[in-house]
Amino acid sequence: MINSLGINKPKKDTKIVVAMSGGVDSSVVAGLMKEEGYDVTGITLKLYDDSKKSKEGRQCCAGQDIMDAKRVSEQLNINHQILFYQKKFKNEVIDSFIDSYTAGETPIPCVQCNQTVKFRDLFKFAKNLKADALITGHYVTRIQKNGSANMYRAKDTNRDQSYFLFSTSQEQLDYLRFPLGEIEKSETRSIAKKLNLNVAEKPDSQDICFVPNGDYASVIRKFKPESFKPGKILNLNRKEIGKHDGIINYTIGQRKGIKLAHEEPLYVVNIDASNNSIIVGPKESLVIKKIKLRNLNILGSIKNFENKTKIKVRSTGKLLDAKVKIQNNFAEVEILDQETGISPGQACVFYTEDEIGDKVLGGGWIHSTLNENLSP
């Protein structure tokens, strides 16, 4: 008999691992699975040293979150384990974040975290426990179709997290389950209250877990203080018009902090890390029409790209019409809609619309952008 997770076992004999961050979403998932009668083990990852974390920050995977996950597990009467992955996280996420930022890119460490310690390493751990599935509280929809699992944008598009999961492999997707993909966030909180979970009113995490209060510069100053090197601010014609106090203080599309008197607002259009300079211009100079991607992850057949393709270049951005040309592990993308402020280091995620919804086709990392407003 096929159970609600699509596994041919009675629920009581189906062993599952729930990734528990200590937030309301993963706690509700654990509660729902326990209520349905599955054999549930909660796993919480200790990813970084949060002893000096700002009390005002709202991050995931912090000390308080670990205690919340433990309390929820005790309340639900499920097994709970803590995995200490600080070294893995430092080597594969924090170091990559710092290297990317100092190279003038805009990294997305949450994707790197999903790609490495959360899915790759936790996936392996769950398999070693002989678990039948790994369950998370992500807002994405997983649908079994033609013998394999497919990923779609969540019903609650304001909460959709498919952008952060583009690097999920087919093997991982077949093993993963996302019970919250078909419900609204407000319903999740209602379920938490019905289950009397102590995290029912807990605020969602807002910051990158190892970046207190969104202060990226403080993290880089701690690990790579030599990155704060003053340099030139150039206009679109590469003429010097001012000085900056370190390229890591700027991201493409930024307006604040340029500190130049000008007749119109100036934005960071490009960051030239090799020459330690930033290039600024008016808002219209931020428009990007072509981007190049590296390190692709493709879900499904390459033939999917023969149809109309949509992309997202930021997690909160809209779906854009695009033409995608794939060559091995690289891709060239022509953006047919208008979009501004695209930066190397960000992800570009592919979608196609079918009879079910917006299906995720994978994605890649933005390696370079073509800005026709810049002088060579």
Residues labelled catalytic? 113, 209
**Rg from Cα positions in the chain:** 22
Tokens of 77: 């009467």
Which of 292, 337, 320, 312 is CA-nearest to residue 108?
Answer: 312
Amino acid identity at 279 = I
> What's the token pair of residue 250?
């700027």
CA 164, distance to chain mean position in Å, is 3
The closest alpha carbon to 41, from 23, 60, 26, 57, belongs to 26
CA dihedral 198, 200, 201, 204 (to 10 degrees): 110
Angstrom CA distances, 268 to 66, 274, 319, 374, stand at 39, 16, 24, 12
CB atoms within 10 A of CB 236: 16
SS3 state at 110: helix
- Exposed e or buried b for every residue in 244-267, given b needs 16+ CB within 10 A? bebbbbbbbbbeeebeeeeeeebb
